[in-house]
Amino acid sequence: MNGKTVTINSRELSLSNLDKDMYPPYGFTKTRLLEYYSLIAQFMLPFLEGRALTLKRYPQGVDRDFFFEKRCPQHRPAWMETAEVPYGEKKVITYCMANNLESLVWLGNLASIELHVPMAKADSPGNPDSMVFDLDPGDGAGVLDCARVALIVRDLLSGLKLESFAKTSGKKGLHVFVPLDPGKTTFQDTKTFSRAVAAIMQKKFPGLVTARMNKEYRRNKVFINWSQNDASKTMVCVYSLRAVEKPSVSFPVSWKDLEKTASQKDPGKFQVLAPEASALAEKKGGFYRELLGMKQRLPHTWA
């Protein structure tokens, strides 16, 4: 059975290619992808809500061609909520939003394996509600190096009375988020701040950290990608599947667990796969919810 019509919240969706293996040869069909997003929806939706989505679609599975899609497809159902957000100076793009389960399932049916979200909500696209440190290991470095950097960044921030939250990228990196008050924050603020942090980290830990994009500088080091703090950038949403060999997901890690895993030196523990994710989110993901609505302010001494 390759297609099927389902009703979610009294809205009809026709699902297609359900037997298609999205992660060959691992074996994770579109049915399982949709099941995953349905189960994780209660944890994930709060992080998607009100945000202009960038879809990373893999119609033929993760080992084949993909494309980024910002424009919400024309053939979307009438109930699909969208947001008009400026793109560059002159253009406005109509984005999909996933504000409810049926939207998430509809997007999953488009083989949108990865869902990426901006740092700001669509109704105020110039005002980020968080700042991110995208920790990306270069060749020769790994998630354990990212964990070391994440812990230093956490301490550095807490010295400035800023709380932060970590999640795995679902690949090899870690993302450290600092929730902020969007009413008091611009991308200029988050960019200046994160860039300064990256610069000082590079200065103090030159063997571990680089703030430079260039691949040659990244070998054996963790690249702190501060430039993600930009209105035009998106980060993979927490709980989103990643298009790697296995259906791994971007998943919250508490600082306690992160310290523990880092000291055990077991990088495998950072990987969370879709089948275990919803049970684990139930058990361990609760803390990450605090990120939402925590309205911190960046120190304005420098503004």
Binding site for another protein (CB under 8 A): 65-69, 71, 88, 151-152, 155-157, 159-160, 192-193, 195-200, 204, 211-214, 225-228, 232, 299, 301-302
- Please, what is the minimum distance in Å from the beta carbon of residue 188 to another protein? 11
- CB nearer to another protein: give 33 or 55: 55
Cβ 62 vs Cβ 114: under 8 Å: no
- CB nearer to another protein: give 141 or 198: 198
- CB nearer to another protein: give 41 or 242: 242
- Please, what is the minimum distance in Å from the beta carbon of residue 153 to another protein? 9
- CB nearer to another protein: give 117 or 274: 117
- CB nearer to another protein: give 70 or 289: 70
| Dist CA 103 CA 172 (whole Å) | 29
| Dist CA 216 CA 134 (whole Å) | 18
Cβ 222 vs Cβ 141: under 8 Å: yes
- Please, what is the minimum distance in Å from the beta carbon of residue 31 to another protein? 24
C-alpha closest to that of 272 among 177, 184, 143: 143
- CB nearer to another protein: give 128 or 285: 128
- Please, what is the minimum distance in Å from the beta carbon of residue 141 to another protein? 17
Starting at the earlier edge strand, list the strands of the sheet with 54-57: 67-69, 54-57, 112-118, 234-236
| Dist CA 237 CA 235 (whole Å) | 6
- Please, what is the minimum distance in Å from the beta carbon of residue 159 to another protein? 3
- Please, what is the minimum distance in Å from the beta carbon of residue 160 to another protein? 5
C-alpha closest to that of 258 among 178, 155, 147, 174: 147
Please calculate the CA angle 111-117-119 and round it to the nearest 5 degrees.
175
User: How many contiguous H segments (helices) and E segments (strands) does the chain have?
Assistant: 7, 14
